[in-house]
Chain A
């Protein structure tokens, strides 16, 4: 118990003293995950729109595949990309393994199915007359699509926050694809895993507090958006 309270005390001191190593790790985490979510969002929204509004052969199969990808563990995503990016792999020439770019790719692969599935549900819930009304009022397909997204904005924001929460906290893919290199690819979850394995709990707890704070903030925002989307009548 004494060891735990001492570790928590040191963790808080690390957090509030502006420890460079710790905040650099936080910075890497946020940078990688922000780029991943920015890259994954446009194609995921287009895919969600296509699945919700277009009728084409194989649509149901694609929905099933995307739902299956939701439950694929991060380490399996990491393993797949590792094989592709490793020197002997088909994309080995790109020399991306153990770089932040590889971590971004892993996180895109993790974020895409979450974004697509949740956005699909949100867009499908919008009244079909919204699209028709926009088109018959002269909106171009792009403007009509933006209108639909505006109608489904609370659900889409919830999808964005859920996907961001998932990728910033995942350890498997980041560890395998980034290699946990200090000052370069070490992010919050890989640092926690490393420090814990060394028996150094203080930095792990400090980073855990950052993740918990982030998780709480995202969930509070999520509740707020979802609450606005379902007004009490």
Chain B
């Protein structure tokens, strides 16, 4: 039996970066409804959002067998294909994130013009959440659609990826705000971001537990996939994702008192690390656990 990785590590990295962008954008648009109290979160979310997804998209295109033919994605559509629909969502999101970032610069009087008026900004803020849910879940549905790979063909995957996307995006914003802002100015913002991230981590833990359980009680192929995950990627999955990426930041948040910039930066970094390992393990181990023939 030969084992084969058709989708390489770049794909995993892309899934991760798209999630970080989505989460950062969600943090920015959601807090903008709460007025000026969260101006640093709104600012940093807008700063961060466009870049990871743009870098990730570049990776996706370079991984194609024919990178120069990528435009066919927008000409030849297939409504049954998650990738076809995902390419449209991704493009819309990327464009909006860049325009929104530019508008943020305009608000801070760093550029002289903007493409948005007040109504359009409101529209984007309302569209932000469904768009981010689209970005966060579609990366899961993308893998989900492969009937060949038991570890991917699992209905919980989109929820895991959505929770991880929001959580890593919020973490990225939290690190940005905590590291750059004057602590007394940003303290309450970071504090509430940390609470939001803890809730998201809780949701992700729940979804991940459901994922593992469904493989554990599933058919022979699903059980074999879990066996493979445990025996070959156990350290990364349980140690990297569960322990370091989720339980440790949650534990630090819950069991230590007071909020400091260093603590927020540490927790945010752990969450960002865990999200990356999660995508890598699922993408690579999923394929490795599935002998080609």
Check if A and B associate.
Answer: no
